[in-house]
């Protein structure tokens, strides 16, 4: 099978590191796809040439599953309206606490490394997992392998939405540590290439720091007239669980009720438990309540700029 890969990296001088982006095409296995996503090269890109973009909508998802939980409803509406939708994932989210639940214990890579070796029960399946006895495809999930597995779910969700692979970009910003300079460099590069596009992401009011950073940066780019059009959304945690009230917020629902089937398929991409195939239902291990809330009441809220 023919396979090809386009790799582009943006040097983030202020942050002292390089973040890479790539578009995914055809791969034989999930492993090849994830390995390609991880292939980071420090190549300085030429300045992007502006392209016609009045019909373009670019979604910036902080972590894998945010594109479904927070932006799934408007994303489906935009595709239904004939928009040219791009999906940008800022971080694979390899530092998620769900890794310990799926492994069945803490290890030296855990946020609480002092608990290494201590067992941890999986609240989703009500059991203690053992990657070796259950024949996980990846064995014990290191942070890298966990991030790769999380990306598999992300690509399945994107496919459920019907987003072409050449309109998907993945960056490797470390979750729970989004830096302003990193996020701005990424978002500003798209604003330069797609000057008339509409940009959509989280709001600066979000309770998750990574989410709020995306909203803060986009808000600054808008006020500096670098971005012409943008929309901010409240995450389910912020809106429905933490009950944060933002005056002027508006509910966004599916324009075509039949499209709920698409949303459900995207949600299910994060609830596939086939560990022998490298699928670990990471999304549901992370935030099962949020998925249940969305499927029961499929809406999101956009906030005034």
Q: What's the rounded mean pLDDT across residues 127-153?
A: 97
Asked if residue 130 has pLDDT above 70, the reply is yes
Q: Is the residue at 27 inside a domain?
A: no
190 contacts 167 by C-beta, under 8 angstroms: no
Q: What is the pLDDT of residues 249-259, one digit of tens each?
A: 999 999 999 99
Q: Is the residue at 31 inside a domain?
A: no
Indicate the pLDDT class of residue 12, thresholds 50, 70 and 90.
very low
Q: Is the residue at 288 inside a domain?
A: yes
Q: Which residues contact 42 (CB under 8 A, 6 or more apart)?
A: 9, 11, 18
Q: Is the residue at 14 inside a domain?
A: no
Q: Which of 19-28, 65-74, 175-184, 262-271 has the lowest mean pLDDT?
A: 19-28
Q: What percentage of the chain reaches a pLDDT higher than 70? A: 84
**φ, ψ dihedrals at 68, nearest 5°:** -95, -55
Indicate the pLDDT class of residue 54, thresholds 50, 70 and 90.
confident
Asked if residue 29 has pLDDT above 60, the reply is no
* Residue 219 burial (CB count, 10 A): 17
Locate 33 and state its tokens. 């796809």
Q: Is the residue at 151 inside a domain?
A: yes
Upper half-sphere CA count for residue 45 (Cβ side, 13 Å): 21
pLDDT value of position 304: 95
Q: What's the rounded mean pLDDT across residues 158-183?
A: 95
DSSP states of 187-253? HHHHHHH-TT-EEEEE-TT-SSHHHHHHHHHHHHHHHTTS-SEEEEEE-HIIIIIS----TT-EEEE
The mean predicted confidence, pLDDT, of the chain is: 87
Indicate the pLDDT class of residue 49, thresholds 50, 70 and 90.
low
Q: Is the residue at 28 inside a domain?
A: no
pLDDT value of position 83: 97
pLDDT value of position 7: 30
Reported as type and span, the H/E element at residue 22 is strand 17-23
Q: Is the residue at 20 inside a domain?
A: no
Q: Which of 2-16, 46-60, 161-175, 264-278 has the lowest mean pLDDT?
A: 2-16
pLDDT value of position 16: 37
In whole angstroms, what is the distance from residue 183 CA to residue 205 CA? 17
pLDDT value of position 70: 98
Asked if residue 282 has pLDDT above 70, the reply is yes
Asked if residue 46 has pLDDT above 90, the reply is no
Domains contained in the chain, number: 1
Q: Is the residue at 9 inside a domain?
A: no
Model-level pTM?
0.84
Asked if residue 110 has pLDDT above 90, the reply is yes
* Residue 64 burial (CB count, 10 A): 31
Range of the domain at 104: 51-303
Q: What's 247's domain CATH number?
A: 3.40.50.10320
């Amino acid at each position: 099978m023919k396979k090809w890969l386009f790799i582009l990296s943006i040097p983030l001088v202020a942050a002292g590191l390089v973040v890479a982006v790539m578009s995914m095409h055809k791969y034989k296995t999930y492993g090849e796809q994830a390995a390609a996503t991880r292939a980071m090269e420090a190549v300085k890109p030429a300045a992007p040439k502006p392209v016609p973009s009045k019909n373009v909508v670019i979604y910036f998802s902080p972590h894998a599953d945010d594109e479904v939980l927070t932006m799934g409803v408007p994303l489906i509406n935009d595709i239904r309206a004939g928009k040219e939708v791009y999906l940008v994932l800022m971080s694979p989210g390899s530092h998620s606490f769900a890794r310990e639940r799926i492994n069945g214990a803490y290890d030296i890579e855990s946020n609480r490394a002092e608990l290494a070796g201590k067992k941890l029960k999986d609240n989703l399946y009500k059991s203690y997992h053992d990657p070796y006895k259950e024949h996980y495809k990846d064995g014990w999930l290191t942070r890298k392998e966990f991030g790769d597995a999380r990306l598999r779910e992300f690509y399945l969700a994107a496919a459920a939405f019907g987003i072409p692979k050449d309109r998907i970009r993945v960056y490797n910003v470390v979750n729970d540590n989004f830096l302003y300079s990193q996020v701005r460099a990424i978002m500003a590069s798209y604003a330069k290439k797609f000057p008339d596009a509409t940009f959509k992401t989280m709001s600066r009011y979000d309770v998750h720091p990574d989410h709020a950073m995306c909203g803060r940066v986009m808000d600054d780019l808008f006020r500096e007239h670098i971005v012409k059009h943008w929309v901010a959304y409240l995450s389910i945690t912020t809106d429905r669980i933490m009950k944060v009230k933002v005056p002027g917020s508006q509910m966004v629902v599916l324009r075509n009720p039949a499209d709920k089937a698409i949303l459900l398929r995207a949600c299910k991409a994060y609830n596939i438990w086939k560990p022998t195939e490298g699928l670990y239902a990471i999304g549901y291990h992370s935030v099962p309540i949020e998925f249940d809330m969305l499927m029961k009441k499929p809406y999101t809220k956009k906030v005034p700029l």
